[in-house]
Structure 1
Amino acid sequence: MKQWLLVFIGGGIGSVLRYLISKSFNTYFAYFYLGTFLVNILGCLFIGLILGLSFKGNYLSENQILILATGFCGGFTTFSTFAFEKHALLTAGELFHFSFYLISSIVVGIAAVAFGLWLAKVL
């Protein structure tokens, strides 16, 4: 039960922070959802750093990993919104914006995870 509560708390904090960032940044560009992009990339960086620190040694307990990686990162990032926004771009006929957003999200997301893992090694 304690583990469920940790995931619940981390997820709640991540979700509220995602909402605030998306609300603040999604209005900057007509065909690029900057807020969603930022939370997903930051989430990739965070999970790389969190899991990198856990791989490195006993820097994080199982409970800390649950609240941070599973809870916070799970609540902070959003694949469903990402998919919905891609669908909206496709149905609007914005093939270039769809492709750019899709490819940049995947490439930068993977790079952010790699950077987080690297950062954990050098800390």
Structure 2
Amino acid sequence: MNPIILVMSGGAIGAALRFGLSRALPVSAAGWPWPTFAVNVVGGLCMGVLAIWLLRGDSSAEPLRLFLGVGVLGGFTTFSAFTLEMAQMVQRGQTGMAAIYATLSVLLALGAIFAGMTAAKAVWA
């Protein structure tokens, strides 16, 4: 299948999932951005599992990497919303919250990737 179609269709699914989560976890204008925080941490976990699964090396790896990794997870997670929310916190004078949000987002998403990789290795080792 055409790589562009794989990425586009996966991206549409990921974006729809992120939109659904943003409706399920609404946030007030000055509150903690739970939807973005959640998608980036969950996306890290899923990417860790996917990375280990793809490293198993079967012949279907590249189309699945494009569809799931670049498309679905690329559309699901969001760096642009993360940075916008941090900028809005700073503009509202919530610099402490912005710093905590940035730190926790990066550390927990990174930790989630390693947790996903560890779990996947335990399953497929």
TM-score bracket, normalised by the shorter chain, equals: over 0.9
In the TM superposition, residue 24 of structure 1 has moved relative to its aligned partner by 2.0
Residue pairs, 1:18-57, within 5 angstroms: 18-27=18-27, 30-57=30-57
Give the match's secondary structure for 1:51.
helix
In the TM superposition, residue 71 of structure 1 has moved relative to its aligned partner by 0.4
In the TM superposition, residue 103 of structure 1 has moved relative to its aligned partner by 0.6
User: CA 1:29–1:45 in 2, change beyond 3 Å: closer, same or farther?
Assistant: farther
Return structure 1 stretches of 4+ with deviation > 6 angstroms: none
User: CA 1:60–1:31 in 2, change beyond 3 Å: closer, same or farther?
Assistant: farther
- Same amino acid, percent of matched pairs: 32
Counterpart position of 1:70: 70
TM-score, normalised by the number of residues in structure 1: 0.92
Confirm or deny: 8 A CA contact 2:30 2:89 kept in the other structure. Answer: no
Aligned equivalents of 2:70, 2:12: Cα separation in 1 = 11
Q: How many residues align?
A: 123
Counterpart position of 1:109: 109
Runs of 5+ consecutive residues of structure 1 not aligned to the other structure: none
Runs of 5+ consecutive residues of structure 2 not aligned to the other structure: none
In the TM superposition, residue 65 of structure 1 has moved relative to its aligned partner by 1.3
User: CA 1:59–1:40 in 2, change beyond 3 Å: closer, same or farther?
Assistant: farther
TM-score, normalised by the number of residues in structure 2: 0.91
Aligned equivalents of 1:51, 1:15: Cα separation in 2 = 20
In the TM superposition, residue 58 of structure 1 has moved relative to its aligned partner by 2.5
Counterpart position of 2:122: 122
In the TM superposition, residue 17 of structure 1 has moved relative to its aligned partner by 0.6
Aligned equivalents of 1:73, 1:101: Cα separation in 2 = 21
Q: Specify the code of the residue in structure 1 equivalent to 2:111.
A: A
In the TM superposition, residue 100 of structure 1 has moved relative to its aligned partner by 1.1
